Amino acid sequence: METTLRGVGVSHGVAIGEVRHMGTAVLEPPAKQIPAEEAEREQGRARQAVEAVAADLIARGNLAGGEAQHVLEAQAMMAQDPELIADVERRIAVGSTAERGVYDAFAAYRALLANAGEYLAGRVADLDDVRNRIVARLLGVPMPGVPDSDEPYVLIARDLAPADTALLDPALVLGFVTEEGGPTSHSAILARALGVPAVVALPGAGELAEGTVIAVDGSTGEIFVEPSAEKRAEMESAAAARKAALSALSGPGTTSDGHKVPLLANVGGPGDVPAAVEAGAEGVGLFRTEFLFLDDSKQAPSEEKQIAAYRAVLEAFPEGRVVVRVLDAGADKPLDFLTPADEPNPALGVRGLRSLLDHPDVLRTQLTALSKAAQGLPVHLEVMAPMVADRADAKAFADACREAGLQAKFGAMVEIPSAALRARSILREVEFLSLGTNDLAQYTFAADRQVGAVSRLQDPWQPALLDLVALSAEAARAEGKSCGVCGEAASDPLLACVLTGLGVTSLSMGAASIPYVRATLAKYTLAQCERAASAARAADSAEEARVAAQGVLSGE
């Protein structure tokens, strides 16, 4: 009998297939004591396992490339954290086995992360995955992970670590469903990059029996268990029609009456560029430069290394617009040379621009490297600061850009509610705004973007979030300046129309979403988008806003 479940759709597309569950997590190793003379040998075993797991994560990243590579390299750094390794060795020195020392040390660190604020709590799943891989190697048992199968399937998991998501084979993994996670979690972002349909935050997903046939709609978040032949045909027909429409449409983003909405790509480095170019991106709306700095948490990359990485991206978009976000360190991206180690709540502490203003040499080097990377290129370079709270922040960043001799537009990200509320004041210091809806949502609703239990508050359709977008766009229009969206909200085709109706001037997203957004925008006039935006803002919940906007655009 067909039943319907609903989670949060995070990656477009339809997948129909049998359920396969993620491999079982590593069991807790026994707490037995070892003689003192064996401690040194056990410490050596632990170090070897840590290095092997870190090397495996880096190798997986090299195979995956793009944004996945940066995420996995950061996870490898987590495995090699000196304080964590020292704690493991201390536990072994007083009698723990290597595997028990690792398990207990990671448990203590896990508790710290879980209580350290929104961003660091969101890294718990990544930490658990590293622990499981190290303990599995020490115990000599298979790594937890994606099941072996010769036939295509839909993967079910409590959560997916980046190491598993990065190397999913789209030919075998038709789609995936998780109990945890949110629309802006690492796994969701990587799923969109892979083009794999995905639904997260589905309570009870683990109870779906192995081999059960399900149909997954990654756009709506609906899961149909044992779908009827009619439902399968309906979904497959809709998917085929969507694919045909996407392939038939190309060119710049525009509404049906010719209102231009540039469609840009979010990239993490040169590895993400080919997919963006293939998708027809009109430029880059968010170049996340922090991954370049995560290669070595002890020191900033040299000016020469930065120039090479920046130029590789800038060269790919001649005459296009490339918006670079300067280093966003802190919170879930701590750097030993930049961020405080003892903050009680890093997400609300010295993060982003605050860190850079405390270390002006790091900011100056990055701005100089960007200036040199753009020399001689016909690219439209724009540089923006993360975590701008007020006009004083915006002025400090603009002054730093001028002092570095940067020949580019400079702007501010709107990720903190105060920036949206005082957007017009901020725009007296900078030339554009870019809305990071992921962080703006979690700071507006006090809802961690990695926690499935609060996923309804991370939903970018929340009317309060749309109000903040509208305030920012209205301020930009009043000042004759631009206001784009570079958060994950832009990747939802229907919401892209609403954002356009709110006055947003460009949309930036993962490359895989660009064709969907282009095709949907082309169906509607600007006036229709504006009416849909008004209807969404008048609603009282995210679901009501989505339904109201859909009703306007469908003519109901």
Whole-angstrom distance, CA of residue 242 vs CA of residue 48: 50
- Sorted by sequence, the CB contacts under 8 Å of residue 208 that are 6+ apart come out as 19, 156, 177, 214, 225
Active site residues: 186, 486
Q: What is the dihedral of CA 360, 366, 372, 377, to 10 degrees?
A: -130
Name the CA radius of gyration of the chain, rounded.
Answer: 24
- Sorted by sequence, the CB contacts under 8 Å of residue 399 that are 6+ apart come out as none
Whole-angstrom distance, CA of residue 464 vs CA of residue 470: 10
- Sorted by sequence, the CB contacts under 8 Å of residue 312 that are 6+ apart come out as 269, 270, 273
Helix (H, G, I), strand (E, B) or coil at 267: strand
By the 10 Å C-beta count (0-12 exposed, 13-18 middle, 19+ buried), 486 is classed as buried
- Sorted by sequence, the CB contacts under 8 Å of residue 278 that are 6+ apart come out as 511
Helices (H) and strands (E) in the chain, counts: 24, 16
24 near 144, Cβ under 8 Å? yes
505 near 469, Cβ under 8 Å? no
Helix (H, G, I), strand (E, B) or coil at 505: coil
Whole-angstrom distance, CA of residue 221 vs CA of residue 273: 28
323 near 285, Cβ under 8 Å? yes
Whole-angstrom distance, CA of residue 268 vs CA of residue 65: 10
504 near 483, Cβ under 8 Å? yes
Number of alpha carbons in the 13 Å side-chain half-sphere of residue 408: 32
Whole-angstrom distance, CA of residue 214 vs CA of residue 208: 9
Beta bridge partners of 33: 96
Tell me which DSSP letter residue 33 carries: B
Structure tokens, 1: 């009998």
Whole-angstrom distance, CA of residue 323 vs CA of residue 276: 14
Whole-angstrom distance, CA of residue 356 vs CA of residue 552: 45
Give, for 214, the enclosing helix (H) or strand (E).
strand 213-217
